[in-house]
Amino acid sequence: MTGIVIAVSRNAAHTFSKTTQASIRLLPGLGVEDDAHMGVTVKHRSRVARDPNQPNLRQVHLIHAELMDELRAAGFAVSVGQIGENVTTQGIDLLGLPTGTRLHLGDAAVVEVTGLRNPCSQLDDFQPGLMAATLGRDEQGRLIRKAGVFGIVLAEGTVRPSDSVRVELPPEPRRPLVPV
């Protein structure tokens, strides 16, 4: 399974949206260079308030461009980076990947998927109704979180729009993604 990077974004400040860039540098065990969420321990404010020593399983936030298309079709004005993602991909079912999947981005960077983003009320602060639009239900009525996935950086590299994304699935048995 392969896809492509559509956009890359970062922000050194703890703001909701991130600024698109020509490239971002991923640093092993840390995340996106010069991004507010870079670090060995968790940087998301709500998580820091609970326990600032938790490992940072949210070093890189990835969203599929297909979600942006879905949100625009539903009437939302969203573009890459605006809902907090570092890497926007196309052609990969990020939400269907198992925990531990390795994403090879460009020539060298490797991100291991740790879990799902749990949509929060900041989405509604950005645009009313956006949080509900990033949630859904499957045929059995189970909640589907569509706001992307998080991962940790295993291998350093620079990532740019139009870079390839190669999926390396973990060995069996595979575990489904859960919120982190």
Q: What range does the domain containing 156 cover?
A: 2-168
pLDDT of residue 47: 84
Say whether pTM exceeds 0.85.
yes
In a domain, 177, yes or no: no
Backbone angles phi, psi at 117, to 5 degrees: -80, 130
In a domain, 141, yes or no: yes
In a domain, 155, yes or no: yes
> What is the CATH number for 76?
2.40.33.20
In a domain, 180, yes or no: no
Those residues with Cβ within 8 angstroms of residue 125's Cβ, 6 or more apart along the chain or in another chain:
16
In a domain, 176, yes or no: no
- In the chain, what percentage of residues exceed pLDDT 90? 91
The CA distance from 176 to 159, in Å, is 26
Residue 179: pLDDT over 90: yes
Which residue reads 């740019």 in tokens? 160
The CA distance from 114 to 59, in Å, is 10
Tokens representing 102 are 């390795």
Q: How confident is the model at residue 132 (pLDDT cuts 50, 70, 90)?
A: very high
Those residues with Cβ within 8 angstroms of residue 153's Cβ, 6 or more apart along the chain or in another chain:
26, 27, 28, 29, 30, 31, 59, 60, 109, 110, 111
- In the chain, what percentage of residues exceed pLDDT 70? 100
In a domain, 179, yes or no: no
In a domain, 173, yes or no: no
In a domain, 87, yes or no: yes
pLDDT of residue 173: 97
Listing DSSP states for 143-170 in one string gives EEE-S-EEEEEEE-EEE-TT-EEEEEPP
pLDDT of residue 48: 86
Residue 163: pLDDT over 90: yes
**Is 3 strand, coil or helix?**
strand
User: How many domains are contained in the chain?
Assistant: 1
